[in-house]
Amino acid sequence: MVKLIDGWQVARTLNAQTQVRVARLRKQAIVPGLAVVLVGHDQASERYVRMKEKKAQSLGIYSVLKQLPADSTQEDVLQTVTALNQDPRITAILVQAPLPPQLDATQVFGAIDPAKDVDGFHPENVGKLYLNLPGHYPVACTPRGIMTLLAANQVPLQGANVVVLGKSAIVGKPLAALLLNAGATVAVLHSQTKERRSFLSAADVVISAVGQAHLLTDADFQPHTIVIDVGQNLDENGRLVGDVDYSEAAVNIEQITPVPGGVGPMTIATLMQQTVEMSEWSK
Amino acid sequence: MVKLIDGWQVARTLNAQTQVRVARLRKQAIVPGLAVVLVGHDQASERYVRMKEKKAQSLGIYSVLKQLPADSTQEDVLQTVTALNQDPRITAILVQAPLPPQLDATQVFGAIDPAKDVDGFHPENVGKLYLNLPGHYPVACTPRGIMTLLAANQVPLQGANVVVLGKSAIVGKPLAALLLNAGATVAVLHSQTKERRSFLSAADVVISAVGQAHLLTDADFQPHTIVIDVGQNLDENGRLVGDVDYSEAAVNIEQITPVPGGVGPMTIATLMQQTVEMSEWSK
């Protein structure tokens, strides 16, 4: 029997903790403030942004949406970011990706004050993570959420063989850094990898962040593998599925995050966690 | 027959190119300036620093050594770094590691102006490397030197299985980033790794940066493996050796960097290369 790793449950617990922390700050007249910058009308982005706003408000976080037209100039976006950097009510800034093609995303993300960079995308925060520096700094929310999920399910990482599929700057690479910092042996596989078998056959934990339905099946894993599925794909029938096909009869997968209901809820819960932490850190 | 990868030869070529670039800058009245900060009297550090100074001078680089006493305070070191940040003759600053235990190394390295951080240790530069950002920024010299050595020996990296042994912030981790950026499949192994066999038996390239004599022998590799040995160890007889034992009769190692004469010369040559590049970038 495959055990499902329940992301909703861990996210609920985390959100409850965040709510308590917000209340504690509010007693000291400190209100965490999250600003989301949305450029254009990408449907998925609009949906995510609404979810983030709603969740923030429900936890007592002050929330602002800065919506800019799709044809905004670099100047427009940078001015918005600069104004938010200087706004004392805002402690956390998130620029929703992807940005329209006329914009230089690197420059936009780099313009966010590192102390308000709630997504952990600023080079300075990325560098601190890779250097495993002590002290407080934000980390990309999906990878951090995955680490919380693994910890909540008592998955041992020290000395474990972990395979990460995907080398994006948002998931694969920061995840590899977090796992190395936790003492795991880490192999990062991606679209140019010539064969996955030798890696998967030695893996204790496999984290797939490729975004391709039917990429892996139970037969690809060794017995007792723990699988974290970061994929969010629409299959042939328009159903939301992850990267991994499995059934209750799977013999190799020991635990897996379902899609939906696994990693997804953890990303937003971690964003909220980090929003309140950034308020605490800047006290 | 094992082919030796000649680091001296590649370093000589690189140094000759650097010398030409320095001469070109000097014609425009620009002189690259390297400042080395040495705190205390660690013997190995003093030797390295002298080698760096000598090499810089021989290439036409203006070179300054700031020697501080072993009992320097954090304040003393930060003041020295700040003065060098502001000194227009200095385009590249290197604080020689390790620092005496009373000093906060993280704060010292973080205090170097990222535009003068010739060792590529500042979080902002580390982050740019991991994000694979476009534009110019310095990268840790030993990993970058290894990439130059691999390129000079036409070692294909795209899709290759590369095993990195060691996860230090100076070698293992930035090397993993450079290799991923170059399209390699990368596994990072370290002291907590439970078994190396499954990784080594699938590796096209193995880079060992552990610092342990006799760690690996020819029998650990699969046929046609290319080995980069970053180890600098003294063996039982006080002889400088790498991490890998091999003889001319090795059957699996196809190419290897000797110790000494492999990676070592590339580190200083890359430091010189980066010193002159930082002058060019800031023109």
The predicted structure's pLDDT at residue A145 = 98
Within an 8 Å CB–CB cutoff, is residue B173 touching chain A? yes
Residue from B23, B6, B46 nearest B266 by CA: B6
Distance from CA of A54 to the nearest CA of B (A): 30
Report pLDDT digits (tens) over A53-68: 999 999 999 999 999 9
Q: Which fold has domain B29-114?
A: Rossmann fold (3.40.50)
Residues of chain B with CATH 3.40.50.10860: 29-114
Q: Is pLDDT above 80 for A283?
A: no
Q: Could you write out the three-class secondary structure of B27-75?
A: HCCCCCEEEEEEECCCHHHHHHHHHHHHHHHHCCCEEEEEEECCCCCHH
When scoring B198, B200, B205 by the number of chain A Cβ atoms within 10 A, the one with the most, hence best to mutate, is B198
Q: Which residues of B touch A200 (CB under 8 A)?
A: none
Residues of chain A with CATH 3.40.50.720: 141-263
Report pLDDT digits (tens) over B48-75: 999 999 999 999 999 999 999 999 999 9
What is the amino acid identity at position A283? K
Mean pLDDT calculated for residue range A68-93: 98
User: Which of A134, A183, A188 lies nearest to residue B192, judging by beta carbons?
Assistant: A183
Q: Is pLDDT above 90 for A123?
A: yes
The predicted structure's pLDDT at residue A90 = 97
Q: Please name the residues in contact with A101: beta carbons below 8 A apart, sequence gap of 6 or more.
A: none
The predicted structure's pLDDT at residue B1 = 83
The predicted structure's pLDDT at residue B63 = 97
The HSE-up count of residue A153 (CA atoms within 13 Å, CB side) is: 26
CATH architecture for residues A29-115: 3-Layer(aba) Sandwich (3.40)
Report pLDDT digits (tens) over B207-231: 999 999 999 999 999 999 999 999 9
- Give the Å distances, CA to CA, from A54 to A51, A117, B151: 5, 20, 51
Q: Which residues of B touch A127 (CB under 8 A)?
A: 122-128, 130
Provide the number of CB pairs (under 8 Å) joining chain A to chain B.
121
Q: Which fold has domain A141-263?
A: Rossmann fold (3.40.50)
Residue B171 CA to residue A68 CA, distance in Å, equals 43
The predicted structure's pLDDT at residue B283 = 77
B 194-233 near A (Cβ less than 8 A): 194-195, 198-199, 201-202
CA B28 centroid distance within chain: 29
**Beta-carbon neighbour count of residue A89 at 10 Å?**
11
Rounded to 5 degrees, φ, ψ at A228 are -110, 120
Q: Could you write out the three-class secondary structure of chain B?
A: CCEECCHHHHHHHHHHHHHHHHHHHHHCCCCCEEEEEEECCCHHHHHHHHHHHHHHHHCCCEEEEEEECCCCCHHHHHHHHHHHHHCCCCCEEEECCCCCCCCCHHHHHHHCCHHHECCCCCHHHHHHHHHCCCCCCCCCHHHHHHHHHHHHCCCCCCCCEEEEECCCCCCHHHHHHHHHHCCCEEEEECCCCCCCHHHHCCCCEEEECCCCCCCEEHHHCCCCEEEEECCCEECCCCCEECCEECCCCCCCEEEECCCCCCHHHHHHHHHHHHHHHHHHHCC
Residue B1 CA to residue B171 CA, distance in Å, equals 29
